[in-house]
Structure 1
Amino acid sequence: MNRNKHQSKINFNSILEACKKRYTPFDKQIAVNRKPLSMITAIKEAKKAGQSPLIAEVKYRSPTNENREPRGPDKIALEMTAGGACAISVLTEPEFFGGNLENIPLVKKAVPVPVLRKDFLFHPTQIPESYHYGADSILLITSYFTRNALKQMIADSRGYGMEPLVEVHSPLDIETATAAGASLYAVNNRDKDTLEIDLERTKQMAPLIDGVIVSASGVETTDDLKKVLKHADAALVGTSIMKSQDIESKVRELVDA
């Protein structure tokens, strides 16, 4: 199933290059005095409660969609957790997704669940930066790193108590992430070059993964969610929630699926 075909030169690599051009390394000395919440635990607890484990994403726009929701990230996140989201993903990339790193502390103060910083991270100093701003976990895109570099990023994240969500797009990515020591995986249903979506990706790649699996991108309906949760432990959903007229009800509809 292919949806949202996107004819554009924008892809994961072009976004990464834009991020690299504007990044200033984080150089603050910070104290490790906060214990981040565990996304793995949150997913398992949602399952135990008989709910569909849902990571709801605060995402104001994307290269393929312009979302309508104008309110602050904290208010949106509150509605998402009221609907039963077991964790919140906050997109912090500004140019293509309308995000802001300052949204992390706003959301963190507002909700009792784990907060994921979702961005196109590539630099080791972005790990203490994420911790400093209040993230409980960060997204690491496997194809951006060599095996050794990814292994170090995972180890550094755990040094701050953050279990990273390691994104994979292919069997080769899974091999790299596994060798690097990943425990929490995001199978992205979006092709990183064409940006086309195919929910079958989760089904195809899940058997290759030994760890907790999050199916990311392309889930719009309860049927979509049921389809990916046959093979994954949780789903990360953004656009369909952000475009909903009633965020809390949309999340509840998915969580109760």
Structure 2
Amino acid sequence: MNILDKIVVRKKEEIAQRKAETSEESLRKSSLFERSTFSLSGELKKKQPAIIAEFKRKSPSKGIINAEADVMQTTTGYVKAGAAALSVLTDIDFFNGSDKNLRIARQHNNCPILRKDFTIDPYQITEAKALGADAILLIAAILSPEAVKQLASYARELGLEVLLEVHNAEELQQTALDDNIAPFLNVVGVNNRNLKTFEVSIQTSIDLAELMPESMVKISESGISNAENIRILTEHGYQGFLVGEYFMKQSDPAAACKAFIQQI
């Protein structure tokens, strides 16, 4: 059982507990549920190259990255630095995230916010809307093509945009390039991390770019740490870049984000 399998097993337990504690009806009564959302894809098209700056305290591969950073100061600092959007981890067990972090980020920032979690159930999408997210993440590696379509369709019904993450050509072909699924997606993200070895290479993004139509809004994720990475990936058609660990491992993530954006 790889790390993704373990996460999904735990996520199913977590969702069952959440459903028992809070009904979907209650979630829909959230003051944030009816708010108009910001467009992640629209912002990525406007700001190029566009940085999606991530607030992430921990990861399964690196352990604790930054346990001290303040959510409000970091996320507002990201936006002031020129980030096009924010990504906030809400997975508790494997990433030390929380719903509270997303609520704080929403309260203090007027920009698209991606709820970064392992979405496998429509309930989580209702949660995301109630928390003030503008977009959700769907990971092709843990979902069947049918599930991707079902979840993406529901997200769009709620006014949320969908970022689909793929890791290889097979996942891309079965989901983002499927004519029955593509209309429900807003952004396609290529994760440069090998899920079996945890090795990271932007070559993954370069290889998959050749298979994606020019019209597709696409971002590259993981292993992006310098201006040269951005230059190369931009040449291959990427409009956005999700950067988390590189910023968060610094003592001042917002300052690191500012310096990075100035560099590119």
What TM-score comes out, normalization by structure 2 length?
0.87
Aligned pairs for 1:182-201 (under 5 A) are 182-201=185-204
Cα distance in structure 2, aligned partners of 1:239 and 1:146: 28
SS at match of 2:77: helix
Q: Deviations for 1:164-215, whole angstroms, at most 9, x for unmatched residues?
A: 1000011111112222123310100011222211110010001212311110
Q: Which residue of 2 aligns with 1:37?
A: 38
Counterparts in 2 of 1:33 and 1:22: CA distance versus 1, 3 Å: closer
Contact 2:4 2:142 in 1 (8 A): no
Match of 1:176 in 2: 174
**Which ranges in structure 1 are unaligned for 5 or more consecutive residues?**
1-8
Q: Does 1:250 align with 2:256?
A: yes
**Matched residues, percent identical?**
28
Q: Quote the Cα distance in structure 2 between the aligned partners of 1:58 and 1:235.
A: 14
| Alignment length (residue pairs) | 245
List structure 1 segments (4+ residues) > 3 angstroms apart after TM superposition: none
Q: What is the SS of the residue equivalent to 1:190?
A: coil
Instruction: Determine which of 144, 148, 151 is the counterpart of 2:149.
Output: 151
2:77 partner amino acid: E
2:95 aligned residue: 97
Q: Distance in 2 between matches of 1:168 and 1:120?
A: 13
Tell me the TM-score normalized by structure 1: 0.89
CA distance in 2, matches of 1:138, 1:190: 20
Q: Give secondary structure in 1 for the equivalent of 2:41.
A: helix
Q: Identify the match of residue 57 of structure 1 among 54, 57, 68.
A: 54
Contact 1:11 / 1:195 at 8 angstroms: preserved in 2?
no
Listed as ranges, the matches of 1:104-253 within 5 Å are 104-178=102-176, 179=178, 180-181=181-182, 182-210=185-213, 211-231=216-236, 232-253=238-259
Q: Which moved more, 1:234-243 or 1:205-214?
A: 205-214
The unaligned stretches of length 5 or more in structure 2 are: none
Q: Secondary structure at the match of 2:188?
A: strand
1:24-71 deviation per Cα after TM superposition (whole angstroms, max 9, x unaligned): 336222155222110111111212xxxx20000000011222223513
Query: Partners of 2:2 and 2:173 in 1: how far apart?
Result: 26
